Amino acid sequence: MEHELRMGLSVWSIVAIVCNSVVGVLILILFVVLYKACKVPSHQEKVPVFTAEPEQRREQRYLLAAP
pTM passes above 0.85: no
Residue-level pLDDT at 8:
79
CA 10, 16, 18: angle at the middle one, nearest 5?
105
- What is the end-to-end Cα distance of the chain in Å, rounded? 95
Per residue, what are the HEC states of the chain? CHHHHHHCCCHHHHHHHHHHHHHHHHHHHHHHHHHHHHHCCCCCCCCCHHHHHHHHHHHHHHHHHCC
pLDDT tier for residue 17 given thresholds of 50, 70 and 90: very high
Q: What are the extents of the domains in the chain?
A: 11-64
**Which pLDDT does position 33 carry in this prediction?**
95
pLDDT in tens, 23-40: 999 999 999 999 999 987
